[in-house]
Amino acid sequence: MTHRFTARTVCGLDDPEQDDCVLAGLAESDDEGAFSLMFMCDFAEPDDQEIALGFDTHCLVTPDQNTAYGCVRRVELDGDILRVTLDPASLTALGLSDPLLEITLAAPPADVARMRTVLAEILAYGRPDARPVVKNL
């Protein structure tokens, strides 16, 4: 069954002077126990070790620090609904049961715009064969 949630808090961080990595985050709320998704990539091009380990692409982190690299297959924005389709093989690592996530964006418009810009940057990072199809982002 599709995992659906409303993101009332979103962010887009991509300042190498202030941030550890490029990050686009979406969360139900500011509460620590709220469901969240964090899409991330590095600022620098992947090095030989990252390439060897398969870490030369975007990563997705779900609650409890469940993490998978290169797992996003498609991202589509339709109005205020963001649909994310994941590689089914990544579900166990992410602690999810369905490859489709449907997020209603209910955060302030400026925050949503910033998150969208940074998310597009993250999804274009790394090896071409791990880049998802991106529509209307």
> What pLDDT digit, counting tens, does each position of 3-28 carry?
999 999 999 999 999 988 999 999 99
For residue range 107-136, what is the model confidence (pLDDT) as tens digits?
999 999 999 999 999 999 998 999 999 999
Mean pLDDT (the chain, rounded): 94
pLDDT on residue 47: 84
Which has more confidence, 22 or 33?
22
The 133-135 sheet, strands edge to edge: 3-7, 100-105, 81-86, 72-78, 133-135
Q: Which domain holds residue 80?
A: 3-135
Structural domain count of the chain: 1
pLDDT on residue 110: 97
pLDDT on residue 92: 97
What pTM did the predictor assign? 0.94
